């Protein structure tokens, strides 16, 4: 792990790394800045395409991609001389726009990173780690100390994190990608099936079993294109937020929430995931 004290006092071009080849990998791991993410510093992630969100790039120096918000402070971004690909607003915006816009996708980096990964990584499985969006335990909220819980801020697109996670899961299925949660945390706002990190590269999804769920999800995706939901297929709200706006988003979120039990049932029946791994 890059030393936090060094990071806060060292110029932005101080860290360098040697170039490395990136063999074809069919599995990816997106990880965030939860305290448990520090454990990734010592994990063997060589078989994975790795994507670090915001500050998480500091956990280890051999990641493939660093993705951070467009307004992420310049002095907290990876050094410019750092070799992994760095992804920010202009890079991830096309992926969220294609998926319906941030008001439907969810305007926080855990979801943004997922849509970007679905559009760009060409993997069949994407795992999440340290992105559970739960901040009710005592102590540090992030591996580097106390940070602002961005997913919990008041925002029209974040009224139901579970609904937005379910939508992302279905968007992945639509593109032939299975999204799972590899975090060992007991609680998570991500509703994806649970898979231990040690088993992530062994997951070989059978997409035929997801046909019923995907069929229902496609109907919701089509519904999003119809009034009144279509007015939210953009990145910003061009008028004051009203209760009517919230009601429309809540209705749409409700449709995604209704699919969670079916997702859990299919995953369990498929035999790829144990009941204990499916705990939400």
What mean pLDDT comes out for the span 260-275?
77
Per residue in 212-234, pLDDT (tens digit) is 999 999 999 999 999 999 999 99
Residue with more model confidence, 211 or 84: 211
Residue with more model confidence, 118 or 76: 118
Torsion of CA 205, 208, 209, 211, to 10 degrees: 120
pLDDT of residue 278: 37
What mean pLDDT comes out for the span 253-272?
90
Per residue in 93-149, pLDDT (tens digit) is 999 999 999 999 999 999 999 999 999 999 999 999 999 987 666 555 444 445 565
Residue 116, φ and ψ in degrees, nearest 5: -65, -45
**Predicted confidence band of residue 80 (pLDDT cuts 50, 70, 90):** confident
pLDDT of residue 194: 94
| Cα–Cα nearest to 246, from 137, 156, 126 | 156
- Whether this prediction's pTM lies above 0.85 is answered by yes
| Cα–Cα nearest to 1, from 29, 42, 33 | 42
pLDDT exceeding 70 applies to what percent of the chain? Answer: 81
CA distance 222 to 216: 10
The DSSP H or E segment spanning 161 is helix 161-174
Strand partners, 180: 127
**Predicted confidence band of residue 150 (pLDDT cuts 50, 70, 90):** low
Please, how many CA atoms are within 13 Å of residue 164, restricted to the half-sphere of its CB? 30
What mean pLDDT comes out for the span 61-89?
86
Per residue in 10-60, pLDDT (tens digit) is 333 333 333 344 446 789 999 998 878 888 988 999 999 999 999 999 888
What mean pLDDT comes out for the span 65-73?
89
């Amino acid at each position: 792990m890059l030393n936090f004290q060094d990071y806060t006092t060292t110029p932005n071009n101080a860290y360098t790394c040697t170039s490395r080849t990136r063999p074809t990998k069919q599995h990816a791991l997106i990880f965030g800045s939860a305290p448990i993410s520090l454990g990734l510093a010592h994990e063997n992630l060589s078989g994975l395409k790795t994507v670090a969100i915001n500050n998480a790039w500091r956990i280890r120096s051999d990641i493939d991609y660093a993705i951070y918000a467009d307004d992420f402070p310049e002095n907290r971004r990876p050094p410019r001389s750092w070799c992994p690909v760095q992804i920010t607003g202009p890079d991830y915006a096309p992926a969220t726009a294609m998926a319906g816009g941030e008001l439907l996708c969810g305007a926080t980096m855990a979801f943004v990173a997922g849509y970007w990964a679905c559009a760009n990584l060409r993997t069949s499985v994407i795992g999440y780690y340290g992105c559970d969006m739960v901040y009710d335990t005592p102590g540090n909220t992030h591996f580097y100390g106390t940070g602002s819980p961005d997913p919990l801020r008041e925002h029209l697109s974040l009224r139901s994190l579970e609904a937005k996670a379910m939508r992302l899961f279905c968007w992945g299925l639509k593109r032939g990608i299975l999204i799972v949660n590899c975090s060992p945390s007991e609680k998570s706002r991500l509703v994806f099936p649970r898979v231990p990190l040690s088993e992530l590269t062994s997951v070989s999804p059978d997409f035929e079993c997801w046909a019923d769920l995907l069929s229902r999800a496609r109907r919701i995706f089509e519904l999003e294109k119809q009034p009144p939901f279509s007015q939210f297929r953009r990145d910003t709200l061009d008028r004051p937020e009203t209760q009517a706006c919230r009601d429309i988003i809540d209705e749409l979120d409700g449709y995604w929430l209704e699919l969670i039990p079916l997702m859990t049932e299919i995953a369990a029946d498929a035999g790829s995931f144990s009941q204990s791994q499916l705990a939400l």
